[in-house]
Structure 1
């Protein structure tokens, strides 16, 4: 009986790599499926704060309890096409690319889905490798979670202040009450903080943050009137 042909060293390495990739894909799908029902316990950004000696503040609140204007404010500020795109807004990405080529203030084209994927599963910062992983997890959460769960997770893990995570913890920090009874302007102020949570403050905002918050307040009415949050109802 002929002996089985022994694989070469490069072939064995290749098989190990293939198995490792397959295992990682299966584990990532399992993790996304679990987080469909279970709140993510911690993120890499939170770990970074803890490692830096900060005590983090977070207080999960379901979307059904949270004031609906908070989700509307996030849509108004971050992603007007949230309910209709499949995870990526190609027009926003193209505009951001063209704007960034001209120099000046860097613009982002990430959707709420992309930001949620980054916040929950990855680390902050750029790079093509991380962006590739972000796209992968964005597709997964769009497929497994759906829009309502994506928004719920986003509004509970997004950084809303220094070592403060989620709209509910942000509302308690800035306004001394929970996110279940936000005024329109309060929801807008929290949303205005989201892009730069370590540099902006929702209490007595000044300059750009104040103007941006006022703009979001006005756009919340547009989101409500035009049904841009219809996928959350």
Structure 2
């Protein structure tokens, strides 16, 4: 019995360490000279597939991409504290009513998922994602959050980050992305395996046109990043 209790305590300590590790990493990832990799990059390394990610500082990323990603993924990024509770409440209400739910992931939530968790829908992952997003938004500045997100987002098989994506899809550095190219990258983010920014179909081009127009009117929404 003593051995069983000891084993149970060990398992609880291991579980607590696994759950607590991301919160320690959030603090360690705050300085700008730290260039973390994501769990998906680690997966690619373990599976010996390799990946392409070239870190680029926030100021070396085209504002066109920043504006497009914000207006496509999280228009309230500068306002909320990591979670858009208005959108989240709508998703919960839809679920309770049996209606199809829409996405409510903010950029902090997606960054936390990319860095520390895994892909796929599950209540367990979402339950871990929410407090991580809140903690990350509290510790990191908005610029640092966006920098991290744009350097770990996946834009195709083994293609991570804005620099690798810009060069892979358009043959230009992230700093030189046009409004159209940025919009195509932004709208491909939800499903980069089926949405090819470099070879967009008609539907993707239409979505990109919508985001391009929104990005052109995003001045008030991105003040936290460029003031």
Q: TM-score of the superposition, structure 2-length normalised?
A: 0.86
Paired residues, what number? 222
* Counterpart position of 1:178: 173
* Counterpart position of 2:30: 36
Mark the CA change 1:113 to 1:204 in structure 2 (over 3 Å): closer, same or farther: same
Aligned partner (choices 192, 210, 213) of residue 215 of structure 1: 210
| In 2: Cα distance, 1:203 partner to 1:23 partner | 41
Residue 76 of structure 2 corresponds to residue 89 of structure 1: no
Q: TM-score of the superposition, structure 1-length normalised?
A: 0.84
Residue 206 of structure 2 corresponds to residue 231 of structure 1: no
Aligned partner (choices 131, 153, 160) of residue 158 of structure 1: 153
Mark the CA change 1:23 to 1:97 in structure 2 (over 3 Å): closer, same or farther: closer
Kindly indicate whether the alpha-carbon contact (under 8 Å) linking 2:22 and 2:116 is maintained by their aligned counterparts in 1: no
| In 2: Cα distance, 1:78 partner to 1:177 partner | 23
Q: Once the 2 structures are TM-superposed, how far is the Cα of residue 10 of structure 1 from its aligned partner?
A: 8.9
Mark the CA change 1:198 to 1:53 in structure 2 (over 3 Å): closer, same or farther: farther
| In 1: Cα distance, 2:79 partner to 2:85 partner | 12
Aligned partner (choices 39, 63, 69) of residue 58 of structure 2: 63
Unaligned stretches of 5+ residues in structure 1: 1-7
Kindly indicate whether the alpha-carbon contact (under 8 Å) linking 1:58 and 1:165 is maintained by their aligned counterparts in 2: yes
Residue 129 of structure 2 corresponds to residue 134 of structure 1: yes
| In 2: Cα distance, 1:139 partner to 1:53 partner | 33
Unaligned stretches of 5+ residues in structure 2: none
Residue 95 of structure 2 corresponds to residue 102 of structure 1: no
Kindly indicate whether the alpha-carbon contact (under 8 Å) linking 1:161 and 1:193 is maintained by their aligned counterparts in 2: no
* Counterpart position of 1:46: 41
Residues 81-107 of structure 1 show CA distances to partners (whole Å, capped at 9, x for unaligned) of: 00000111122223344556324xx63
* Counterpart position of 2:73: 78
| In 2: Cα distance, 1:30 partner to 1:228 partner | 30
| In 1: Cα distance, 2:94 partner to 2:57 partner | 36
